[in-house]
Structure 1
Amino acid sequence: MILVTGGTGLVGAHLLLHLAENEVGIRAIYRSQKGLKKTESLFQLYQKDSLFAKIEWIEADIIDIPSLEIAFQNIAYVYHCAGLISYDPKDEDQLRKVNIEGTANIVNFCLAYDIKKLCHVSSIAALGDLKPHEKEITETTEWNPEALHSDYAISKYGAEMEIWRGQQEGLNVVIVNPGVIFGAGFWHQGSGIFFSAIKKGFPFYANGSTGYVGVTDVVKIMVQLMKSDIVGERFSVIAENLTFKEVIFNIAEKLNVKKPKTEAKPWMLALAWRLDWFSATFFKTKRSLTKYGANSLLTSEFISNEKIKNALNFEFQSIKSVIQEAVDLDKR
């Protein structure tokens, strides 16, 4: 039987859709009825309502050990998609608890229940930092603890350390490090905010760059890796390296809304993150732009996907077609 954590998030929900179409014996954990409804709505969006009933749902939390005892009964394979995404410094403790401690719990249960293989969803945020002479980030790029990282990145890196601990103790593991993930059905959380913000008329663009990938490709790669003999490896999962401007303009075009006209200059972003800090400090608003986030909008990084392409002979869907598909589906 297969267990999926994070089944009410973008990756987990799309993974469950794929598994329900192709596998039997699927169990997923959820924390709230609201989250469960989001996944059910995704199945409805793809007109696969009947497949939702194939999933056995268990109310559990990766930081609640007694609930995991129930979830792990009779499980052979685990996809660990659960995690907290936040760039608000106030969430540092919760990020560490969910992403590091929660992953440690999953690893411990996998070891205790002799799980055959674990697939962990990490992030490109947990990849290494380029040295002055290096031009592309790969799976072997070294993490520099002295470099500026978000609390989210640190928590995902810490989660990977727990996965490697599990491997050292005899667990078969594989890690995927997706870039910014686009997909249908989740426009009000995570990377889906790109779509909702641009639809409302987001006024700025930036010329920094990073890696992007469609959620369907992420899911296909996870399943193929789990069915393969590959263990003890991590894979950067990105389709294309694109500037924020290219992505924002393409989403605006597909949504048929005005493209932003103002480039976010360094001085503007420096002012913006300071104002955001001031508002959060004195008016208790939630942070939307940190110093790290502002810097990342100006930073260009190239992330290699050669390892996964060679390992699985995989061809990625273009980001333009991923965006078009997501917009078309959400118009239903």
Structure 2
Amino acid sequence: MNAEAGISEARQNQKGGFMGTCVITGASGHLGANLARLLLEQGRRVRALVREDVRALEGLDIECKKGDVMDRGSLEACFGRGDTVFNCAGRISLTGQPDPFFMSTNMEGVRNVVDVCLAKGVSRLVHVSSIHAFAEIPGNGTLDETMPLVTKNGAVGYDVSKAEGQRIVQDGAAKGLDAVIVNPAAIIGPFDYKPSSMGELFIDLCNNRMPILIDAGFNWVDARDAASGLIAAESRGRTGECYLLAGEWKKLRDLASAISDVTGRQTARSTVPVPLALMASRVNWFFCRLTGTPTKFTPFSIETIQMHRYVSHRKAAEELGYKPRPFAQTVKDTIAWFEQAGRLKLSG
């Protein structure tokens, strides 16, 4: 029996797809933590590649192995024949600059994962890319999987790194690796322990630390829905294909309003036009670079919230059965989790 036939038989005979050990890189991150919980709920065996911060996995019945996608030896010790590998490891940058740290993780780290998957004979690789791997849609066009990936010409460093990582996985699929790619939108939701950049934004809005909002927004997806999309891609995705995992596009003002509806607290209502915010961010970025002060208010972060207003998840819905929950439910559940985790104090 050839490899493709064996994979097909496994899908038919095993409910939910492959039933070997599920290896998660980036398991202690926001998406990885949600994925680990969902896999455990389904009775799967989970092995996590972790570094130092494992708060997101404490108390879970998971085998943890110390390592990093930049350390090929740790990958070889973590991956096994017949495993499913969910590559959730990745770095996010709000500067737009080609920083070697996140560029290497998002590109060479992916190459290491692909090479070790091929060498070890894993059952399937599910790689997490991003909607930002795709070229920007002019005007009000809709982003779908037919759009080209960004190139190095004129694109910012983060977008280039995610696109190159996606190409590396596609090259691996051409060499015989059974690999599927998912491209989530902006992720929010429970189990955001660190928290993520989007989680910090969410907390700031809850605490009314942003008196003025930029008149723009994101396509938001619940971390639990993105995790479900990864598992569906494992069992139902087509080799070499990519799937956009999107939710609803909402302005920052809409998010603030939804938060206010749940908490009863007043949140920011005033907005500033994007061109004015972009000008201010350039000045801020200049002075922060001079002084070495970290900042999230950068030209890249402003440009990011203008991109990809319309994102189609039709392919994921039709082929994977992907169905994101309502935005309002995500907001409500995220607030409840942050309060339970001690990151928000809404009463007393």
Q: Give the structure-2-normalised TM-score.
A: 0.85
Alignment of 1:115-264 (within 5 A): 115-131=122-138, 135-145=141-151, 148-186=154-192, 188-201=195-208, 202-228=210-236, 230-264=238-272
List per-residue Cα deviations over 1:3-22 (Å, max 9, x = no partner). 11000001101111111122
Following superposition, the deviation at residue 152 of structure 1 comes to 1.5
**Residues 276 and 221 of structure 1, relative CA distance in 2, 3 Å threshold:** same
Gaps of 5+ in 2: 1-20, 341-348
List per-residue Cα deviations over 1:140-177 (Å, max 9, x = no partner). 11235377533211111111011001101100111111
**Residues 128 and 268 of structure 1, relative CA distance in 2, 3 Å threshold:** closer
Higher helix share: 1
**Residues 276 and 74 of structure 1, relative CA distance in 2, 3 Å threshold:** same
Cross-structure match for 1:27 = 47
**Residues 239, 316 of structure 1: 8 Å contact kept:** yes
**Residues 190, 334 of structure 2: 8 Å contact kept:** yes
**Residues 264 and 75 of structure 1, relative CA distance in 2, 3 Å threshold:** farther
Alignment of 1:261-300 (within 5 A): 261-298=269-306
State the alpha-carbon separation in 1 of the partners of residues 33 and 179 from structure 2: 21
**Residues 205, 245 of structure 1: 8 Å contact kept:** yes
**Residues 194, 248 of structure 1: 8 Å contact kept:** no
**Residues 211, 240 of structure 1: 8 Å contact kept:** yes
**Residues 299 and 124 of structure 1, relative CA distance in 2, 3 Å threshold:** closer
**Residues 316 and 130 of structure 1, relative CA distance in 2, 3 Å threshold:** same
SS in 1 for 2:54: helix
Mean CA deviation greater in 164-173 or 275-284: 275-284
SS in 2 for 1:260: coil
Cross-structure match for 1:39 = 57
Tell me the amino acid that sits aligned with residue 137 of structure 1.
L
Tell me the amino acid that sits aligned with residue 308 of structure 1.
A
Q: Give the structure-1-normalised TM-score.
A: 0.89
**Residues 28, 56 of structure 1: 8 Å contact kept:** yes
**Residues 129, 143 of structure 1: 8 Å contact kept:** no
State the alpha-carbon separation in 1 of the partners of residues 254 and 162 from structure 2: 27
State the alpha-carbon separation in 2 of the partners of residues 186 and 276 from structure 1: 28
Tell me the amino acid that sits aligned with residue 240 of structure 1.
E
**Residues 187, 222 of structure 2: 8 Å contact kept:** yes
Mean CA deviation greater in 155-164 or 142-151: 142-151
**Residues 239 and 167 of structure 1, relative CA distance in 2, 3 Å threshold:** same
**Residues 122, 160 of structure 1: 8 Å contact kept:** yes
State the alpha-carbon separation in 2 of the partners of residues 270 and 19 from structure 1: 41
Following superposition, the deviation at residue 329 of structure 1 comes to 2.5
Tell me the amino acid that sits aligned with residue 90 of structure 2.
G
Aligned-residue RMSD, C-alpha: 2.1
Following superposition, the deviation at residue 318 of structure 1 comes to 0.7
**Residues 95, 151 of structure 1: 8 Å contact kept:** no
Tell me the amino acid that sits aligned with residue 68 of structure 1.
L
State the alpha-carbon separation in 2 of the partners of residues 178 and 291 from structure 1: 22
SS in 2 for 1:62: coil
Mean CA deviation greater in 141-150 or 202-211: 141-150
**Residues 2, 75 of structure 1: 8 Å contact kept:** no
Matched, 1:5 2:12: no
Matched, 1:330 2:338: yes
**Residues 152, 160 of structure 2: 8 Å contact kept:** no
Alignment of 1:67-78 (within 5 A): 67-74=74-81, 76-78=83-85
Cross-structure match for 1:316 = 324
Gaps of 5+ in 1: 41-48
SS in 2 for 1:276: helix
> How many residues matched?
318
State the alpha-carbon separation in 2 of the partners of residues 229 and 91 from structure 1: 32
List per-residue Cα deviations over 1:173-226 (Å, max 9, x = no partner). 111111111111326323111221112311122332331111111111111221
Following superposition, the deviation at residue 75 of structure 1 comes to 5.2
**Residues 144 and 38 of structure 1, relative CA distance in 2, 3 Å threshold:** closer
Following superposition, the deviation at residue 229 of structure 1 comes to 5.7
State the alpha-carbon separation in 2 of the partners of residues 155 and 56 from structure 1: 30
List per-residue Cα deviations over 1:93-120 (Å, max 9, x = no partner). 1111111000000000000011111001
Tell me the amino acid that sits aligned with residue 247 of structure 1.
L
